[in-house]
Amino acid sequence: MTATLRYSDDGLVTQGLSRAQLPRHIAVIMDGNGRWAQSQGLPRVEGHRRGVKSVRNIVEECARLGIEQLTLYCLSSENWKRPRKELDFLMSLLEQYVIEERSDIMRQDLTFAMIGRRDGLSQGVLREVQKTVDCSRQNQGMRLCLAVNYGSRAEILDAVRALAREAASGRLVPEEISEDEISRHLYTAGMPDPDLLIRTAGEMRVSNFLLWQISYAELWVTEKCWPEFRTPDLFEALRDFAARDRRFGGLNG
């Protein structure tokens, strides 16, 4: 398979960036689909459908930039409170997306992953997700990770329970539990922590998303709703990220 053409160093310079300034891992809270649709006089589900176009655009651009991982918050564990009709549509849209994008995932040499609890997800979604995970396993490009039925507190709870079982069986000494050990029991085991967290629709909260992993992530919020988010907005976020002074609790200079 032929990977998507990457940005040259000169191409990045025209965007006011260098390769060394790019984040390794970008996470996105894709908010505002329903609000955008309602502002356009459309049903909420049309916002989700339009949001898929933004996903395609941003996945393509991040792959061209050589970003190591892009994680998209597709469905939170709290979203099950929404109307059944909307949830059924989201499941159908997710299954359709995974099927339709499989060829592009292979063309762009992406690896595909999904994090979150499987409970409640349709068999169709689970089947198609696994197919895409399996067929992209040997790819070498960006990891595209979808967070579906995901909640960070549930993730941490599952990790704690797993550690407790290991301690109870004598395979783990509680005093030897480290941050790295906890990270290895999270859904994101083996993945880098996000460097940049983007949130659309102007909301100033992290909504139970990757709470452990974003401890030192830079946050960037835009008033634009997700269906409006495109390449120029991504580069605006990247330029802002590049200008940040990331000290990780220490001092520079």
Q: In whole angstroms, how far apart are CA 208 and each of 29, 72, 156?
A: 10, 13, 11
Q: In whole angstroms, how far apart are CA 133 and each of 24, 127, 192?
A: 21, 10, 18
Q: Provide φ and ψ at 21, rounded to 5°.
A: -90, -5
Structure tokens that stand for 119 in this block: 């409970």
Catalytic residue among 33, 57, 79, 88, which? Answer: 79
Report yes or no: 123 and 148 within 8 Å, Cβ to Cβ.
no
* Whole-number Å distance between alpha carbons of 224 and 247: 29
* Whole-number Å distance between alpha carbons of 148 and 106: 21
Q: Look at the chain and count its residues.
A: 253
Three-state secondary structure call for residue 144: strand
* Whole-number Å distance between alpha carbons of 90 and 149: 11
Structure tokens that stand for 93 in this block: 């849209």
Structure tokens that stand for 159 in this block: 């990790």
Structure tokens that stand for 118 in this block: 């499987």
Three-state secondary structure call for residue 215: coil
The verdict on whether 79 is a catalytic residue reads yes
User: Active-site positions?
Assistant: 31, 79
